[in-house]
Amino acid sequence: MDLFKRGRIGNVRLKNRIIMAPMGTKPESDGSYSTNSINYFEERAKGGAGLIITGANIVSTKYEERPENELSDFHNVEKLAVLIERCHHHGTKVFVQITPGLGRMVYADPYTPPYSASDQAYSFWFPNLKCRMLSVDDIHYLTERMAYSASLAKAAGADGIEIHGYGGYLLDQFHSRLWNKRTDEYGGTLENRLRFTTEIITAIKQTCGTDFPISMKFTAYHGIEGGRELDEGVAMAQLFEKAGVSALHVDVGCYEVWYKAITTVYEKPMHQLFAARAVKQAVSLPVIMQGKLNDPKDAESVLKNNDADFVALAHQMLADPYWPAKVKAGEFDRITPCIGCNECLLGGFSGKHYYCTVNPLCYAEKDYQLTPAPTTKRILVIGGGPGGMEAAITAAKRGFYVELWEKGTALGGNMFVAGAPDFKHDVMKYVDYLKREVMRHNVIVRYDHAATAVTVLAAKFDKVILATGSKSKLPPIKGIENAAQAEDYLVAKKTPGDNVVVIGGGLVGCEAALDLSEKSKNVTIVEILDDILVTAIHSKNNDLSLRDHLKAANVKLVTGAKVEEIKPGMILFSQGEQKEELKCDTAVVAAGYSAVDSLEAELEDKVDLTTIGDAAAPRKIMNAVHEAYHAVRIFE
């Protein structure tokens, strides 16, 4: 495979063409890399990546607080050096990404106006905050600090650095007319708007030498009105090549369309291919492509077709650090798939570390390892959803005797509903993966086997894990018998008519509406709250993507509306004092879920019992998977 051909960036030789793309990590109090971060990166090196690019390291906190790691001081070198050395032990090279700042994208401070390229830009997260403009002296200061930080990275043993100049962050704010309204030598023409970055490149070369590789990560296309079009992105690539960088890491999007930059479950595979291909055709430098390359066949095709020289994977490397090794061994079906949920991103932007729904070991690589079972005790798992399957697999890995009782005839639980739409195919990949792992670990599965307290107690298991999931709620609406649950349409038990009304604008309701928009003429969401997705606790890029998909599909939204009655052919609803009618031949209910937990009361105090996932409280796939893993991990 071309994925495993050796490659080169500048004078650095790489063992393959697979790169772990930059993602942030949580630092120590002084900004240095934490022990957990070091373990996290080393695990990805063990997994076979040819190159790891760290997340952004800020070079100075003079203008904004540290967003994640900091590389501004000699004392930051020690931990970075340990990180790099550990990765080198496995033959993996490391580029350290450095940034002058986030600019208008600062997300932790709602009170202090952020700095940007000009004072006509506004904060993204806090739109009432007008930005302050960096002066020429400020720009020169940050240029010097970028060069100094590059020298610190080199001192730590880094194989190269990457300039953080993409995604609407500070350097990209200088690059774009959208945010850069300056009239001095750092504004106006494209060359002027790139001047801050090209001066940084020159300064790094002067400080670190011309043989120290520089990767330039930049945005070739924004995808918003007034943002960068691809022809300008290609011209930028040519100017960066002229400035002397060693590689171009091509990005797409900005926070206004964040899902174009950081993939969600709703995006199609290889969605950034067009940009990488255009840049590759215009320059002679190595080009790095990213953007949902999780399928090894897709990643391989990028190289085979000469659309890029390297492929970069981000969240897929959180889900499975061993993606490269498994691909090399031809074990495609052993890869734990990323499901595009972005719980990793949500965790980071909530002030926590970066979790992964499908990998409980992410960012806890040493802390949460499984140990062999001290004795071969017997574990019963009740329910074959994501939590139940994870519990059974984990128990089998530890060496316990394990049975899984499933009341139906297939494993998957509510993930069959969640993964039913075409745009949720990533979730179905995870269902299939878990089913394969259940079989591979020789878990005894008893289908069509509804558990009762009598049968469970009679079987005398040492541990029972209740993973019975949840069921859809029916709201107390007059005429509710004229409606059906969203899941009936998602799994094609029922066929919708031309005029569909979805009652409930939460996550399930919005996804059901989007799915039904492909099958019906008119789809309307009626939501009692003032906006859709208010109750959805998910990452902003997922939220933006789903809203934009609904808009593109012409799904109508009626918010602040209470459904009063469902009649054949119409629904009646009220908005304040107004009473309205809406034509409707298909009423779809998406009113949330309630736990299926009746066995809990019957079994507690009679057996060692742990209730997990939706059976404890309806939440997310991540709750089910992590609770399952840890329930088994700590069992003795």
Catalytic residues, by residue number, are: 169
Dihedral sign, Cα of residue 374, residue 378, residue 383, residue 384: positive
DSSP symbols for 261-321: HS--TTSPTTTTHHHHHHHHHH-SS-EEE-SS--SHHHHHHHHHTTS-SEEEESHHHHH-T
Residues 239 and 245: beta-carbon distance below 8 Å: no
Bridge-based pairing of strands 51-53 and 18-20 is parallel
Residues 64 and 20: beta-carbon distance below 8 Å: no
> What's at 197, amino acid-wise?
T
Ranges of H-type helices in 194-229: 195-208
d(CA 197, CA 210): 16
Q: For residue 226, what are its two tokens?
A: 């007034």
Bridge-based pairing of strands 483-485 and 522-527 is unpaired
Strand partners, 567: 570
Furthest-apart CA pair in the chain: how many Å?
Answer: 82
Torsion of CA 329, 335, 340, 341, to 10 degrees: -150
Residues 109 and 65: beta-carbon distance below 8 Å: yes
Bridge-based pairing of strands 18-20 and 310-313 is parallel
Burial degree of 1 (CB within 10 A; 0-12, 13-18, 19+): middle
Q: For residue 178, what are its two tokens?
A: 């959208």
Ranges of H-type helices in 156-246: 170-175, 190-193, 195-208, 230-243
Strand partners, 587: 483, 501
> What's at 147, amino acid-wise?
A
Output the 3-class SS for 325-336: HHHHCCCHHHCC
d(CA 313, CA 103): 26
Residues 90 and 49: beta-carbon distance below 8 Å: no
Picking from 18, 69, 621, the residue whose alpha carbon sits closest to that of residue 346 is 621
Number of H helices, E strands in the chain: 22, 29
Distance, C-alpha 525 to centroid of its chain: 27
DSSP symbols for 601-621: HHHBTTB-EEE-GGGTSS--H
d(CA 247, CA 214): 7
CA atoms lying within 13 Å on the CB side of residue 16: 25
Dihedral sign, Cα of residue 12, residue 14, residue 19, residue 25: negative
> What's at 318, amino acid-wise?
L
